[in-house]
Amino acid sequence: MKDRIGILLISASVVVAFIACRYATAHAKVVSGGVYFTPGPECENHIVNEINRARKIDIAVYSITNKKIADSIFSAHKRGARIRIITDRTMSGGKYSLATDLSTAGIPLRRNRKHKIEHNKFAVFDGMRIVTGSYNWTRNATQYNSENCIFLNMFGPEYSMRFEYLWNLYGD
């Protein structure tokens, strides 16, 4: 009897392990993306690559002073991509901020009005792909700071819903 129970438990363990591996493999395909750290150009370069290929871009960031990222936003706008930006009201008026330049170019931009600071750091590309993490879209973040960014092919709808909420909350 004990032998049969042992065999049954081993068989059940094998089945559970098989299902777990299948789930993890399927889940890993959905989560594909990348994780990058600064200082270094990886976050900046991957954000620029996503901007360059997207047709719809929603950006919620604390600050934008990184010229390479801003230039890719300008280029995307010129090629007809739909772009919206939410940023912090205090940081957008900073000496090195490119927020006013982006807004002047015709890119819809809203500054927070309801929260003490707008400290999000995420973007949604084509409603599906996201970048998030501690990485500020600034030159200092790329060159000097210890920060991170993660790119995921999931959670696009959840981040899009949050962006819409903030966009409406900070509406003109």
Q: What contacts 155, CB < 8 A, 6 or more positions away? A: 130
Summarised one tens digit per residue, pLDDT across range 132-160 is 999 999 999 999 999 999 999 999 999 99
55 compared with 2, residue with greater pLDDT: 55
* Residues 65, 25 share a domain: no
pLDDT in tens, 106-139: 999 999 988 999 999 999 999 999 999 999 999 9
Across the chain, what does the average pLDDT equal?
87
Residue range 5-17, pLDDT digits in tens? 555 545 545 444 4
Tell me which residue range forms the domain holding 102.
32-169
pLDDT for the residue numbered 5: 58
Residue 132 is predicted with a pLDDT of 98
How would DSSP label each residue in 58-105? EEEES-B--HHHHHHHHHHHHTT-EEEEEE-TTGGGSTT--HHHHHHT
- pLDDT tens for 81-106 read 999 999 999 888 889 899 999 999 99
What CA–CA distance (Å, rounded) separates 100 from 136? 17
* DSSP assignment string, 16-38: HHHHHHHHHHHHHHHH-EEEEES
- 117: domain CATH number is 3.30.870.10
Where does residue 51 rank: exposed (0-12), middle (13-18), buried (19+ CB within 10 A)?
A: buried
pLDDT of residue 15: 43
Q: Has 126 been annotated as catalytic?
A: yes
Q: What share of the chain is helix, strand, coil (3-state, %, to 5)?
A: 50, 20, 30
Shared-domain flag, residues 81 and 106: yes
Q: Is residue 81 domain-shared with residue 138, that is, in the same domain?
A: yes
70 with 20, same domain?
A: no
At residue 148, the pLDDT reads 98
pLDDT on residue 24: 42
Shared domain for 86 and 42, answered yes or no, is yes
Tell me, yes or no, whether 111 and 165 share the same domain: yes
The pLDDT of residue 157? 95
Do residues 156 and 129 make contact, with C-beta atoms less than 8 angstroms apart?
yes
Instruction: Looking at the structure, tell me whether residues 12 and 50 fall in a common domain.
Output: no
Residues 43 and 80 in one domain: yes
On whether both 137 and 153 belong to a single domain, the answer is yes
Residue 92 is predicted with a pLDDT of 87
pLDDT at 66 over 70: yes
Total domains, the chain: 2
Cα(166)–Cα(107) distance, rounded to whole angstroms?
A: 17
- 111 DSSP 8-state letter: E
Catalytic residue among 67, 78, 126, 172: 126
Q: Quick one: 56 and 111 in the same domain?
A: yes
Same domain assignment for residues 130 and 59: yes
Catalytic residue among 77, 115, 119, 172: 119
Instruction: Please indicate, yes or no, whether residues 53 and 118 belong to a single structural domain of this protein.
Output: yes
Q: Check pLDDT > 60 for residue 72.
A: yes
